[in-house]
Each structure stands twice: as C-alpha cells, then as structure tokens.
Amino acid sequence: MQRIETAMIEKAKALLSSGEVTRVLGWKKGELGYDVEPCVFKSEESLKDFCYNVFCGANLSKYLVEESKKEGKILVFLKPCDSYSFNQLIKEHRINKENVYTVGVECQGKVDPYKLKENGIEMVDSAVETVDTVTVKGKEFKKEEIILGKCLTCTKKPLSYDDIISFNEKREPVLDRFETVKKLEAMTADERYAFWKDQLSNCIRCNACRNVCPACTCTKCVFDNDNSGIASKANSDSFEEKLFHIIRAFHVAGRCTDCGECSRVCPQHIPLHLLNRKFISDIDRLYGEYQAGEDTDSKGPLTNYTTGDVDPSDVFGGNN
C-alpha cells in the first residue's frame, strides 16, 4: 500500500513543476504517527512532509470551499468517501471546479487511534499497511478490529476525479450501515430516550462536528446568529443538547453523504452519525434510495416530492 503514497507524491511533484497546479492539498505528518493533519503544500520540497497512510481519515473536500476561491489551481487527493462530499459541494456551488484538479486515491479503511489505545498501543510513530492488515509496533491487527466505524460500513466508490491512483480491489464492507439504527429503532421509547439523553449529555458544544462537516458550510450558522432566534453557544440545559443536534441533522438531511467525519472528530465519542443515518434510512424507506453526492445535479429528497408520498400519520414504522 506504500506504493500509493509514493505515486501521489510523484503526481504532485509533476503537476507542481509543470505549473498546472500552484498548490497541493494533502495530509502532513504530525509529531505522532496518528496525528496526521490536512495541509496545503505550496512547493515541491515541502512535499517531503506529505504522507498518505492508514491515519489519513480526514475529509479534505471542505477545505476546497475557501481554497477554490483563491488564484491558481489546486491539486487535491480524494478518498472515495471524500469524493461524494466533493460532488455535493459542487452541486451547491460552494467549490468552483475550474480551480481544482482532483485525484482519486485508493482507500482500504483508515485506523481509529482510540481503538489502538484500547488494544494497548500508544505513542505510534508508523504503521505498515496491507489490504487486509495493519502492523503497528510489531503487532499485527486485522483491519476489522481497528478501523474507523465509517470504514467498516463503507460502500463508497471513487467518483468525479481527473486522475485515479488505485491498485487493489476495494474491500467489502463488514457491517450494514443501518444495523445500529435498526437496533435503536427496536428499543422502546424510554430506552431510546435514556440512550440519547446519556449520549448527548456529554456534548460540550465544541462545534467540531459542525466545523468538519462538508454539508455544514453556512457563512454564519443559525446557532451563532443572534438574529435567528435559537442562537446558543453552550448547552445550558438538556433541551439545548437535543436542539443543536436535531436542527443540525435536519439541516444536512438529504445532503449528508454519510462520510462519518462528525463521529470521527467528536472528542466525546458521541455516535452522531446515528442521527444522520436515521434520516438517511427514513428517506430511503419512505422516498426511495438516495445517496447524496452521487451526482452533481439531482434534487435532494427534501427539495423534491411526489404526489403519492406517504402520509405523516403512517410514518411511524416499527413497534412502539
């Protein structure tokens, strides 16, 4: 899998030197192995810090909203899940495509550092990756054991790219993405209420989920805008914990590509993707299969209708 990184660096160098692109958006090594952060490389020598390994879970498409406004073209590497977010941002005119040169890169699942901690691996500096395994500090793990939640259920295919660097067939998803949603739906209302009250009470309103989410690109969020009527910086009551996450999930409903970034970055490990996946599973169940970001022109389910839609009173599927 090491070949991918070297191929990407060559590609970047070639395009930079040919002047076709002026900047490269990729990942940069941090002090620790898993401390990888998105970075814009402006010159070929700066590419020495460039890395693409099992820890590059971050979705780069949202940075392009600002970057594509600047002069000159920018090269960006998009994992399959990132490409869906990229398409969704193109559909919403947030990225102007001419300033962006996209390269699809192969991804066989990215590692969840917290799962490494659970397995007693600390202070990781590097990892050797093959299609199905990751060896860290001499210990070999199966991908299923330590990769991110969003990668376990990933069915994404690389989309809309000018070039692609991919050598192996993509791994099959291990889990059905709606499994936990179905488990929650099967619970009684009290159990569900308790589950979410417990989860959402941990929320410290750091807004990481909002800042990383490629669908959340408002210049001024309603929660920051005093004029909106629901402005609030902190959750000073259990109600506001629910209010923030319900409204955020509703605003991205029909536009969320299920890229899983919100759960990945949440410092409190709240399974926020379960909220968005509930909307996605409802939309698929009620209005037909819809994957946001699959194309750049279709009307989202919440800005579309059919005269025969189901009536709200019969929507409560499942029991209790």
Partner 1 sequence: MQEMNNEKRPLIVAFCCNWCSYAGADLAGSSRLSYPADVKIIRVPCSCRVNPMFILKAFQRGADGVIICGCHPGDCHYTTGNYYARRRMSLLFSMLDYLGIERERTRVEWVSAAEGAKFSAVMNDFASKVAALGENKRLEDLRCKE
Partner 2 sequence: MQKIGVFVCWCGSNIAATVDVKKVADVLRLEPGVVISETYQYMCSENGQALIRNAIKENGLTGIVVCSCSPRMHEATFRKTAESAGLNPYMVEIANIREQCSWIHKDMDEATEKAIVLGRSAIAKLKLNAPLTSGESAVVKRALVIGGGIAGIQSALDIAEAGYEVDIVESSATIGGNMAKLDKTFPTLDCAACILTPKMVDCAQNENIDIMTFSEIESVKGFVGNFKVQIRRKARFVDEKKCTGCGVCMQKCPSKKGKNEFNMGLNNRPAIYIPFAQAIPNVAIIDPEQCLKLKNGKCGLCAMQCQVNAIDYTQKDEIIEREYGAIVVATGYKPISLENFNEYGYDTYKDVVTSLELERLMNAAGPSDGHLVRPSDHKEPKVITFIQCVGSRDTSGCGKPYCSKICCMYTAKHAMLIREKYPDTEVHVFYIDVRTPGKNYDEFFRRAVEQYGVDYIKGMVGKVYEENGKLMVQGSDLINNEQVVIPSDLVVLAAAIEPNPSVRKIATMVTASIDTNNFLTEAHAKLRPVESPTAGIFLSGVCQGPKDIPETVSQASACAAKVVGLLSKDKLKCNACVAHSDETLCTGCSVCANVCPYGAITYVDKEFRIGGGKTETRRVASVNEAVCQGCGACTVTCPSGAMDLKGFSNKQIMAEVDAICKR
- Which residues are at the interface with partner 2 (CB under 8 A)? 69, 92-94, 216-222, 225, 227-230, 251-252, 255, 299-300, 302-304
Binding mask 283-312 for partner 1 (x = CB under 8 A): x--xx-------------xxx-xxx-xxxx
Query: Torsion angle of alpha carbons 7, 12, 13, 18, nearest 10°?
Result: 130
Which residue, 195 or 265, has its beta carbon nearer to partner 1? 195
Rounded to 10 deg, the angle between the 273-287 and 238-252 helix axes is: 50
DSSP 8-state code for residue 273: H
The sign of the dihedral angle between the CA atoms of 265, 200, 248, 85 is: positive
Q: How many CA atoms lie within 13 A of 168 on its CB side?
A: 14
* One of 222, 265, 291, 294 touching partner 1 (CB under 8 A): 222
In a 13 Å sphere around the CA of 151, the CA atoms on its Cβ side amount to 24
> Which amino acid belongs to residue 47?
L
Q: How far is the CB of 257 from partner 1 (least distance, A)?
A: 17
In the structure encoding, which two tokens stand for residue 156, read together?
Answer: 């994404």
Question: Beta strand pairing status for 74-78 and 100-105?
Answer: parallel
* Least CB distance to partner 2 at residue 47 (A): 30
By beta-carbon proximity to partner 1, the closer residue of 83 and 276 is 276
CA distance linking residue 282 with residue 59, whole number of Å: 25
Asked if 197 interacts with partner 1 (CB under 8 A), we say yes
Closer CB to partner 2, 211 or 304, in the complex: 304
Instruction: Compute the distance between CA of residue 148 and CA of residue 79 in angstroms, rounded to an integer.
Output: 14
48 phi and psi angles, rounded to 5 deg: -65, -25
Residue 239 interacts with which of partner 1, partner 2, none, CB < 5 to 8 Å by class: partner 1
Q: What is d(CA 242, CA 201) in angstroms, rounded to the nearest whole number?
A: 9
Which residues touch 298 (CB under 8 Å, ≥6 apart)? 91
Window contacting partner 1 (CB under 8 A); options: 99-107, 111-119, 172-180, 221-229: 221-229
Contact 26, 12 (CB under 8 A): yes
Q: Residue 227 binds which one of partner 1, partner 2, none, with CB within 5 to 8 A depending on kind?
A: partner 2
Which of residues 234 and 315 has its CB atom nearest to partner 1 in the complex?
315
Q: Which does 18 bind (CB under 5 to 8 A by kind): partner 1, partner 2, none?
A: none
- Return the number of the residue (65 or 208) whose C-beta is nearest partner 2: 65
HSE-CB for 66 with a 13 A CA cutoff: 7
Asked if 167 interacts with partner 1 (CB under 8 A), we say: no
Among 189, 219, 233, 289, which residue interacts with partner 1 (rule: CB under 8 A)?
Answer: 189
Compare residues 239 and 297 and give the one whose CB is closer to partner 1: 239
- Residues in the interface with partner 1 (CB under 8 A) total 46
180 binds partner 1 (CB under 8 A): no
Site residues (CB under 8 A) for partner 1? 184-185, 189-197, 222, 228-230, 236-237, 239-240, 242-243, 246-247, 249-250, 253, 275, 278-279, 282-283, 286-287, 301-303, 305-307, 309-313, 315-316
